[in-house]
Amino acid sequence: MTPELKAPDEVDDLVKALPSHLRENFEKADQQLREFYGLSPGVTALVRLWLASGTSSLIRKEFEVAVLDIKRSGLRPDGKGGIDEDLL
């Protein structure tokens, strides 16, 4: 009987390939969860959760702030990327 082959975990491979300065926040969150609740899903699961919860508007906002150095005005888009027209 041969052991079943486990499918490669691409996120786990990604986490292992990240430089330490990019893993730090996930490792810190993992440590804090363990301290506060006594358990954590682990760094790879936290990265997977972070990737899964990133909306297109949030990703765009982070890009604008980090790369384009766009300063946000008082108008904030809602979770769907829209702006309340009453604020205009």
DSSP 8: P
Please give the average per-residue pLDDT across 51-66, as a whole number: 87
Of 62, 42, 44, residue with least CA distance to 54: 62
Task: Please state, in angstroms and rounded to a whole number, the distance separating the CA atoms of residues 35 and 58.
Answer: 29
1-27: pLDDT as tens digits: 455 655 567 888 888 888 898 899 999
Query: Which range (11-15, 43-47, 75-79) has the least confidence?
Result: 75-79
Please enumerate, as own/partner, the contacts of 25-32 that have beta carbons within 8 Å and a separation of 24 or more.
26/50
Is 43 in contact with 26 (CB distance < 8 Å)? yes
3-state secondary structure of 2: coil
**End-to-end CA distance of the chain, in Å?**
68
